[in-house]
Amino acid sequence: MTEKRLWWKHGIIYQIYPRSFQDTNGDGIGDLAGVIQHLDYIQDLGVDAIWLSPINPSPDVDFGYDVADYHTIDPKFGNLQDFERLTQEAHKRNLHIIMDLVLSHSSDQHRWFQEAQKSVDNPYHNWYIWRDPAPDGGVPNNWMAMFGGSAWEYVEHLNKYYYHMFTKGQPDLNWHNPEVRSTMLDVFRYWLDKGVDGFRLDVFNNYFQDQQFRDNPPEAGFSLRKLVRKFEAQKHIYDTNQPEMIEVVEDIRSIMDCYPERYVVGETFLASSAQARTFIGPNRLHAGFDYGFCNAPFSAQAYGQAIQYWDALHGKDAWPNYFFNNHDTPRSTSRFARGDSDAIPKLLLTMQLTVRGTPYLYYGEEIGIRDISLPRSLIQDPVGKQYWPFNKGRDGCRSPMQWSARENAGFTSGEPWLPVNKDYRVRNVEAQAASPASLLAFYKELIAIRRAHPALNAGALELISTDDDDLLIYQRQEGDEKILVVLNFSRQITTCQLPIENFNKWELLYAGNEAITSQMTENDLNLPAYGFAILISRSE
Ligand code: GLC
Ligand code: CA
């Protein structure tokens, strides 16, 4: 490889939702000791980094995304020593640690907010966003909360409203206040000094709001979705994506660059891909999240377009990310897989691991966990509580990791905070580790192939047009290594005419771990339903 191998760029990032990974003390909630216990497992997968969803103290109105103290660890997960041990043990295994920083808002239980609401003269008052009531006593403007209702919450003894983009337990911090800004930038240094390798910034493009607090204009057109969720009936031009953010991402990057090989990735929210791209670059964030790929319908053409668009948008001085799963989205197995078959998950992973960009995996996808479905009484997520039954929230994709066929899938000896998927006796790590034909074995093989081939983890990508709408074909190239990827999105067996010259110089590198019907005769490749082939040519 011409360029030095960078863990966050050429490697793979594995997201853990700590509450659901491994409980070690029987309280039904996963903890840091549980993550430490499985570091060998994670290393063995072949990934390079772990992104931990938030582990700072939190009253869990939004399960960690409401932080009550930025400088320590929530006791339900452990303590600072546990975190330091986790970081050291991870580093011993060449695993990097990415923390989730939730700096757009804090918890209303944070000491700063507790102070802020005491009086307008309190030194912390201006750490949050306060406005007088409208002349009629109502809310200051039409901004809505993503998680339901107005974004303004009235505090009677102050006769003022405070602003919250999410629940009222998540008041937005006032980033226009220089004290807030410098305190927040110190949070980066604090964790970097503790050996953290990177950060994922929660909804960072919401740090600033319009200073004139202008009303958002309506989004044209009627839909049931907009009726149920008024937040979606507005164009979010004044409550997000303000120009001030560019300077802050530059400040963040200059802090990161004081430490070797660190990484910061931002979750953009309510931004177009093009807007999201403006925050990324050599002096800005290393990378961003875009839902274009994750949300694309299951079709060769839709993925082809998403890849081409995202690849071109990033160009040479930025690097894309690709994910299908995280803690906010129904699992791709539940969206796309048919019954218990792993054929579609394998096809999707092959695409994700062979396009140009960093793949993000989400705990449990390597064994094909499906979403759980809960009755209303068991819903935990504020989104599900608010919008049931139109939107049942995000609990479905947060169910406990399925380690073994033992009770509660080996996740806890107590009562799990969310039910374990009922299929755990069949679908679990222990069973799949023992089977060379398992999805887990497939993940490991493909990850190893990606790691071994610079064309796959670093090379340029070129989409290759085909007459068959169900096929997605692209070539990756780095130096003299060329790799061709052919993916069949149909449930029919397909014969593909390979777009290659010097056919004899190509060989089949990988086509999965099942008996495949893939046969190459002359330039023809036969692919099974949802089958794929990775071909390699080194000699040109
Ligand atoms: C991000 C998180 C999500 C959280 C929200 C508010 O979108 O991924 O889980 O609810 O921000 O912090
Ligand atoms: Ca626990």
pLDDT of residue 515: 43
For 168-320, strand residue ranges (E) read 198-201, 263-267, 287-289
Tell me if residue 540 is catalytic.
Answer: no
Q: How far is CA 197 from CA 21, 39, 69, 192, 253, in A?
A: 21, 16, 20, 7, 13
Q: If 0-12 CB within 10 Å is exposed, 13-18 middle and 19+ buried, where does residue 384 land?
A: buried
Q: What percent of the chain has pLDDT over 70?
A: 97
**How far, CA to CA in Å, does 103 sit from each of 46, 69, 100, 194, 245?**
31, 11, 9, 18, 13
Ligand number with the minimum distance to the CA of 103: 1
pLDDT for 221 equals 87
Which pLDDT score is estimated for 502? Answer: 75
> Of 62, 108, 153, 202, which is the active-site residue?
202
Q: Are 402 and 428 in contact (CB under 8 A)?
A: yes
Q: Would you kindly state where each structural domain of the chain is located, as residue ranges? A: 7-105+178-447, 111-163, 460-537
Of the candidates 296, 294, 295, 316, which has an alpha carbon nearest to the alpha carbon of residue 305? 296
Buried b (16+ CB within 10 A) or exposed e, 476-515: bbbeebbbbbbbbbbeeebebebebeeeeebeebbbbbee
CATH number of 111-163: 3.90.400.10
Q: What are phi and psi of 301, to 5 degrees?
A: -70, -40
Cα 518 from Cα 508, distance rounded (Å): 9
In angstroms, what is the span from residue 35 Cα to ligand 1's centroid?
Answer: 22
Angle of the 439-452 helix axis to the 343-354 helix axis, nearest 10: 20
For residue 330, the Cα-to-chain-centroid distance in whole angstroms is 12
Residue 518 confidence (pLDDT): 53
Ligand nearest to the CA of 268: 1
**Do the beta carbons of residue 66 and residue 170 sit within 8 Å?**
yes
CA proximity to 164, closest of 146, 183, 140, 137: 146
| Whether 289 contacts 297, CB under 8 Å | no
In this structure, the residue with its CA closest to atom 2 of ligand 1 is 202
Mutate to test the pocket of ligand 1, among 17, 170, 202 (most ligand atoms within 8 A of CB): 202
Superfamily per CATH, domain 7-105+178-447: Glycosidases (3.20.20.80)
Nearest residue (by CA) to ligand 1, atom 9, is 328
* Ligand 1 pocket, residue 203 CB under 6 Å: yes
pLDDT score, position 517: 46
Whether residue 243 has a cis bond before it, omega within 30° of 0:
no
Collapse the DSSP code of 199 into the 3-class scheme (helix H, G, I; strand E, B; otherwise coil) and give the result.
strand
Ligand 1 pocket residue status of 202, Cβ below 6 Å: yes
Q: For residue 395, which of 411, 415, 376 has the smallest C-alpha distance?
A: 376
328 lines ligand 1 (CB under 6 A): yes
Task: Give the distance (Å) from ligand 1 centre to CA of residue 459.
Answer: 33
**C-beta separation of 423 from 370 below 8 A:** yes
Of 23, 48, 60, 267, the active-site residue reads: 267
Measured from the CB, is residue 269 less than 6 Å from ligand 1?
A: yes
Pocket test for ligand 1, best of 53, 56, 58, 65 (most atoms within 8 A of CB): 65
Average pLDDT over residues 167-172: 98
Assign 316 to helix, strand or coil: coil
Pick the more confident residue, 540 or 120: 120
Closest atom, ligand 1, to C-alpha of 66: 12
Give per-residue pLDDT as tens, 480-530.
999 999 999 999 988 888 887 777 788 889 987 554 545 566 678 888 999
Task: Give DSSP secondary structure letters for 44-90.
Answer: HHT--EEEEPP-S----SSTTSS-S-TTS--TTT--HHHHHHHHHHH
- Taking the centre of ligand 2 as the mean of its atom positions, its distance from the CA of residue 36, in whole angstroms, is 13
Q: Where are the beta strands (DSSP E) in 374-437?
A: none
Q: Which one of the ligands is nearest to 146 CA?
A: 1
Helices (H), 373-413: 382-387
Kindly report the average pLDDT of the chain as a whole number.
95
Rg (CA), the chain: 24
* Selection from 240, 229, 67, 239 nearest residue 139 by Cα: 239
Q: Residue 134: pLDDT band by 50, 70, 90 thresholds? A: very high
Q: 247 an active-site residue?
A: no
259 CB neighbour count, 10 Å cutoff: 14
What's the gap in Å between 394 CA and the centre of ligand 1? 10
383 within ligand 1 shell (Cβ under 6 A): no
pTM for the model stands at: 0.97
The one-letter amino acid code at 276 reads A
Cα 30 to Cα 32: distance, rounded to the nearest angstrom: 7
Ligand 1 touching residue 291 (CB < 6 A): no
- Of 162, 160, 159, nearest to 151 (Cα)? 162
- How many A from CA of 412 to the centre of ligand 2? 8
Task: Tell me the CA–centroid distance for residue 315 and ligand 1, in Å.
Answer: 28
Average pLDDT over residues 3-13: 95
Cα(201) to centroid(ligand 1), Å: 10
Question: Residue 540 — very low, low, confident or very high, per pLDDT cuts 50/70/90?
Answer: low
**For 70-109, what is each residue's pLDDT tens digit?**
999 999 999 999 999 999 999 999 999 999 999 999 999 9
CATH 3.30.360.10 given to domain 460-537:
no
CB 250 within 8 A of CB 283: yes
Average pLDDT score over residue span 336-359: 96
pLDDT digits (tens, 9 = 90+) for 250-282: 999 999 999 999 999 999 988 989 999 999 999
